[in-house]
Amino acid sequence: MSKNRKEHSSNFVDYVKIFCASGNGGAGSVHFRREKFVAMGGPDGGDGGRGGHVILRGERQLWTLLHLKYRKHIKAQHGKPGGKQTSTGKSGDDVYLDVPLGTVVKDADTNEVLFEITEVGQELIVAEGGVGGLGNWHFKNSTQQTPRYAQPGTPGIEGWFLLELKVLADVGLVGFPNAGKSTLLSVVSAAKPEIADYAFTTLTPNLGIVAYRENLSFVMADIPGIIKGASEGKGLGYRFLRHIERNSVLLFLIPADSTDHFAEYQVLENELENYNDELMHKDRIVAISKCDMLDQELMDEISKTFPKGLPHIFFSSITQKNLPQLKDHIWTAINRVQAGSFQDEN
């Protein structure tokens, strides 16, 4: 493995476990008004400040959780106690953790999904700060004119949380190792994945922005190659398949030199279904890569092996044959998905 490849693999982190502690709420104040000619005025103890939150925030420019790998303990400030003249104590400073879009947050003890960050600028609290206690002026009444007590602040929240990244892209490339996924991404976008003529070149997802007609674009993800049994955890199974869940459209790549193109597609489909049967509802496109290796007669023979209800397209990243048509298919599928989502919301 080359030095560059080692660096790239170590720089992509899609799973971290972090400890978060929000701040305690500040205590309410027990204080009485002091005036020159009044020995003991009424209560004027202020409220305690809120404890600081730990907040996750979606950031478009991040593609990995690497920046949190070595930052295991995140603690927000405590709120300050209340003061005199009903002045509220200063709230503890919040701590913001920027994360990539597609970050899923889980409780580390129960594995329960708490929330997902899917939008730029979206802010969600992972550990809420404690509430400041009420000062003694709140407790004055007709029978209690000089309350000598106030509320303590409530404690903050602390615990371990799992952050998992599921790559968020319009279209995800699905295929066995060495199917030509990285080559396609490098040709249609500015992404520079490592490309070599051996299996498992891609060990981490790569994202690229694909330019389309009239200054339009979409995001394509090159997912590491799936192997048979990946859904059962073979190889890096679950790590790879997790990233496919967040892609709107799946582009199945079958290399031209496959011994049985439709059977290979069925194996890939079966791995996805075994992992998460909801993936079967995603729009899909089947594409035969490296078609520069085939003549028209061979392409016709391969086409006969696919059922009529499963459309497919032949293309070549090297000669760029049918690449515009492939982009058209992808763009149509993406918009079909988006239109369906809009109708569901309404």
Instruction: Give the model confidence (pLDDT) of 224-245 as tens digits.
Output: 656 555 444 444 444 556 667 7
Rounded to the nearest integer, the mean pLDDT of the chain is 83
φ/ψ of residue 343, rounded to 5:
-65, -35
Model confidence, pTM: 0.64
CB burial readout 162-183, b (16+ within 10 A) else e: bbbbbbbbbbbbbbbebbbbbb
User: Per the domain annotation, does 158 fall within a domain?
Assistant: yes
Reported as a single tens digit per residue, the pLDDT across 160-172 is 999 988 776 788 8
User: Per the domain annotation, does 128 fall within a domain?
Assistant: yes
Whether residues 204 and 147 share a domain: the answer is no
Round to whole Å and give the CA distance between 69 and 51. Answer: 25
User: Per the domain annotation, does 1 fall within a domain?
Assistant: no
Q: Does residue 2 have a pLDDT over 50? A: no
Whether residues 94 and 186 share a domain: the answer is no
Where among 165, 199, 231 does a domain terminate?
165
Reported as a single tens digit per residue, the pLDDT across 294-328 is 999 999 999 999 988 888 999 999 999 999 999 99
Whether residues 286 and 194 share a domain: the answer is yes
Q: Which residue in 171, 172, 194, 199 sits closest to 183, CA to CA? A: 194
What is the span of the domain harbouring residue 115?
Answer: 12-165
Report yes or no: 101 and 120 within 8 Å, Cβ to Cβ: yes
> How many structural domains is the chain composed of?
2
Whether residues 250 and 197 share a domain: the answer is yes
Reported as a single tens digit per residue, the pLDDT across 35-50 is 776 666 789 999 999 9
What count of residues does the chain have? Answer: 346
Q: Does residue 152 have a pLDDT over 90? A: yes
Whether residues 201 and 252 share a domain: the answer is yes
Here the CATH number for the domain that contains residue 315 is 3.40.50.300
Whether residues 122 and 237 share a domain: the answer is no
Whether residues 285 and 227 share a domain: the answer is yes
User: Per the domain annotation, does 114 fall within a domain?
Assistant: yes
What is the structure's pLDDT at 125?
97
Whether residues 41 and 64 share a domain: the answer is yes
CB burial readout 40-67, b (16+ within 10 A) else e: eeebbbbbbbbbbbbbbebbeeebbbee
Whether residues 75 and 59 share a domain: the answer is yes
Here the CATH number for the domain that contains residue 72 is 2.70.210.12
The pair of three-digit structure tokens given for residue 337, joined into one six-digit string: 């998905």
Reported as a single tens digit per residue, the pLDDT across 48-100 is 999 999 999 998 878 788 889 888 899 999 999 999 999 999 999 999 999 98
The pair of three-digit structure tokens given for residue 233, joined into one six-digit string: 């955890």
Higher pLDDT, 17 or 270: 17
